[in-house]
Each structure stands twice: as structure tokens, then as C-alpha cells.
Amino acid sequence: MSGSFITVALGMYAYFSGQNIPRGIYIPVLVFFVILACYLAWKDSQTELAKYENKEAHKRAFLIERLNQFISEYNQIDDGIIRVSLENSGRGMKRDAYYKRVKGFLEQHWGKEAVEEFGKRKTAFLEELLGKLMDESL
């Protein structure tokens, strides 16, 4: 925020004074603010990582967040088989996209057995996984 303020102030100075800001001043100021922005972004990411004691805690928090999201999305999708027609084709596509996302997520983090179990028990299985993650001690 302060970098843009100073850059605008330099531009306003040049406009109102009628003098050009030398490139030897203007370009290093811009480069400095780009470097500063990169540093601050890096520092924020390191601060976020420091909240977690280790990688396992970070991964567990990610998995808990994703499972919560999938469970809340499931409430908006009809679990039963629906005939795709012009009136409800959007629901069918939304449901198919949901299942593909969840199956891909489960396969990546828990394996094919979890995908098969999800096919049988739907959100009950997701809730069970969520409960296991929340009960695990670090």
C-alpha cells in the first residue's frame, strides 16, 4: 500500500511541478517496491507455516477443511439417481462433478479402498473420516 502511495506521489510531483522524475530515481524506487512486496508475501507464508508444529499437522488441517467442504456441498446435491432432462440436467452435472472431485481427493489421500467405501456409504464415510482426523493426536 505504501509503495503505491509513494509511486503516485512521485507522479503527482512530476505532473504539478512540470519536471520529469529522472529514470535513475523512478526505476530503482519501483524495483525496490517489487522486491519489498515479494519479501512481505514470503514472510506471510512463513508465518502461516509457523502456526503448525509440523507438516503432518498442516496436512491434517488441510484434510479436515476439505472434508468439511465436501460434506457441506453434499447437502445441496440429491443423492438419489435422477433422470437427466432439460429441467434437471444442471443438477445431474453438478452431482457428477461433485463425485469426481471427492473420488479424486479420496484416491489421492486414502487410496482406492476409500473410493469404494465412499461409493457405498456416501457422506457417512466422509463424516467418519473427518471424525478420525479430528480425534487423532499429534
Quick check: helix, strand or coil at residue 86?
coil
CA 17 – CA 50 distance, rounded (Å): 48
Using DSSP's 3-state secondary structure scheme, residue 75 falls into: coil
- Burial class of residue 58, CB neighbours in 10 A (0-12, 13-18, 19+): middle
Q: Chunk the chain into consecutive blocks of 10 residues (it has 138) and report each block's average pLDDT, rounded to whole numbers.
A: 77 88 87 91 85 74 86 68 54 73 86 86 83 70
- Three-class DSSP category at 1: coil
pTM of the model: 0.50
In degrees, rounded to 5, the angle at the alpha carbon of residue 73 between the alpha carbons of residues 94 and 125 is 110
Question: How much is the pLDDT for 39?
Answer: 94
User: Tell me, what's the pLDDT at 138?
Assistant: 41
Q: How many CA atoms lie within 13 A of 39 on its CB side?
A: 6
CA distance 32 to 90: 50
